[in-house]
Structure 1
Amino acid sequence: MSLLVLLPFVIVYELYAAGLIASGPVGAVRSVPHITAFLLIEDLFRLLGVVGRHLPAFALTAMLLGAHVLRNDRWRFHPAVPFAMGIEGIAWAVPLLIFGWVMARFVTLGGGGIGGEWAILCVGAGIYEEMVFRLMLASILLLILKDLVGVRTGAAVVTAVVVSGVLFALYHYLSPAEDFRLRTCLFRTGAGVYFGALFLLRGFGVTAICHMAYDIFVVGILSQA
C-alpha cells in the first residue's frame, strides 16, 4: 500500500531527475538540483559498482515489495486505501506544524523558495529522506539492536528512533549552503524523532506523505507569503 500511494510521486520526481521536468527554456541546458538523500543513495550504489539513473526508485520499489512478501501480506487492496493514507499523512503533518509554530521564536521554519521546482523537491525529500533515515537506517538499527545485540524491544525502538532522528538533523548540514545552528538542529531532531515514531506506528507511506505535506506547506506556502 505504501508503494501504491507513493508511486505517482516517485514517477514525478524521477521524471524531474531525468531532466524532463524542470524550470527554464525548453531545449536549454539545465542544471537540475537534487535532494541530498537521493544523491546519497546513488553514491551507495556507485560504491557497489552499480550505476543507473533510476536506481533509488528501483531500490525503494524492491524494498517495499520485499517487505510485503516477507510479511506474507495479501495481494489485494481497496482502491480507497491509498487515498485514505494520503489524507492521514497530511493530517499527521499538523502536529509537526504546531510544534514548529511553538518553536518559531527560536527556529526559522521556512527557507527561500527553490525556483519553480520547490514542490517537486519537497516530494523528493519526503520520499528519499524517509527512505534513507526510516526505511533503511531505523530498520537496520532495530534489526541490529533486537536480533543481534538482544536489546529489549522498547529500548531498541527508542534508540533507533532517536539515533535516526539525530542523524536526520545533522544530514541537513551536509550542504555548504547552510551553517550548523543548535536551534535548527534541535528542531530537526524533534522532527526526525516524530517521523521515526510515525514510521513505526503507521508505516512508510503515511510518514513520507506527512514529510511531503510539511515541507510543501513550510517551504512553499510560508516562504512565498
Structure 2
Amino acid sequence: MANSPYLRDSRSPRYTILFAVPLLLGYEALALLLQDAGGGVRNGADVLLKSLFITMGGAHGLLVFNLVLAVAGGWLVVRDWRTHPGALRPRVFAGMLAESAGLALLVGVVVGYATNLLLQRLAIGPMGSLDLPTQLMISLGAGIYEELLFRVLLVGSLAAVGVNLLRWTTRTAGITAAIVGALIFSAFHYIGPYGDPLEAGSFIFR
C-alpha cells in the first residue's frame, strides 16, 4: 500500500498544485463577483498575505504576490515533472476528487455532530450570518490561503528554526511546530470584525 502509484502521485507537487488551481481560481472569481455586488469580505489569511506584499511593494505589491505564487507553484510542478517524467493521469485527479469528497463528508458529519454537542458552550461569531456564496468563497479561500500561511509557511518555518537554530531533532521540531502552529491558527479566528468571541471552549474546538 505504501508503494501504491496513486499514493505516490497524489502527493507529488504536479498533482497537488494543479489540483488546487481550480480552487484558487474559484475563490478569486467568487471574491471578485461578490465585491462587484457590494460585498467586501475575503478570507483572513488571504488578506494578511496580500497586505504584507502591498505594504512592502506598494501599488505593485499585489502583482508581485501573484507572480511569486505562480512562479513558486510552477517551479515545483516543473521540478517534479523533470524528476518523475511522464504524462498526467486523469484517474489520479479523479481519485483525489473522490478522496477529498469522502473525507469532507466524513469530517463534516463528525464536526457537525461535535458542534451540536458543544453548541451551547461555543460562541458563534457573525460568520454564520453571511450568505451562502460568501461562505463558499471564504471556505475555498481557507483551503488555499490558510493552508499556505499556517501549514506551509508558519509550521515549516517553525520546524526549520527548531532544527537549524535550536538543534532539536526533526521529530521534536515537527511536533513543537505543529502544536504552536495550531495555537496560532486557532487564535487567528478571533481577529477582525468577523472573528468569534474569544472563549476557552471554542478555542480548544478550533
State the TM-score, normalizing by the size of structure 2. 0.73
- Residue 135 of structure 2 is aligned to residue 118 of structure 1: yes
Amino acid at match of 1:89: S
CA contact (8 A) 2:57 2:64 kept: no
TM-superposed CA distance for 1:55, in Å, is 5.3
SS of the residue 2:52 aligns to: helix
Cross-structure match for 2:45: 37
Higher share in helix? 2
> How far 1:122 sits from its partner (Å)?
1.0
CA distance in 2, matches of 1:121, 1:55: 23
Structure 2, unpaired ranges of 5+: 1-14
Alignment of 1:199-218 (within 5 A): none
Work out which structure has the larger RCO, using CA pairs closer than 8 Å and 6 or more positions apart in sequence.
1
Superposition RMSD in Å: 2.8
Q: 1:151 to 1:131 in 2, by over 3 A?
A: same
1:3 to 2, 8, 17: 17
| Contact map agreement 1:169 1:185 (CA 8 A) in 2 | yes
Alignment partner of 1:64 out of 65, 73, 92: 73
Is this contact kept in 2: 1:3–1:61, CA < 8 A? no
Inter-partner Cα distance in structure 2 for 1:95 and 1:31 = 29
State the 1:144 CA deviation: 1.5
Choose the corresponding residue for 1:106, options 108, 112, 118: 118
**Residue 146 of structure 1 aligns to which amino acid in structure 2?**
V
Work out the CA distance in 2 between the residues paired with 1:84 and 1:58.
30
- Bigger CA drift: 50-59 or 115-124? 50-59
Task: Report how many residues are paired.
Answer: 182
* Cα distance in 2, alignment partners of residues 135 and 12 from structure 1: 21
Q: Is 1:140 aligned to residue 157 of structure 2?
A: yes
2:198: which partner in 1?
A: 180
1:167 is paired with a residue whose SS is helix
User: In the TM superposition, what is the alpha-carbon distance from 1:185 to its structure 2 partner?
Assistant: 0.7
Task: Please state how far the C-alpha of 1:38 moved relative to its aligned partner.
Answer: 0.6
Shift of 1:80: 1.9
Indicate how the Cα distance of structure 1 residues 85 and 42 shifts in structure 2: closer, same or farther if over 3 A, else same.
same
Work out the CA distance in 2 between the residues paired with 1:187 and 1:64.
32
The alignment's TM-score, normalised by the length of structure 1, stands at 0.68
Distance in 2, Cα, partners of 1:73 & 1:47: 37
8 A contact 1:13–1:123 mirrored in 2: yes
Cα gap change, 1:151/1:68 in structure 2, threshold over 3 Å: closer, same or farther?
farther
1:142–1:157 Cα contact (<8 Å) kept: yes
Mark the structure with the bigger radius of gyration: 2
Which whole-Å CA distance do the structure 2 matches of 1:90 and 1:149 have between them? Answer: 40
Identity value in percent: 24
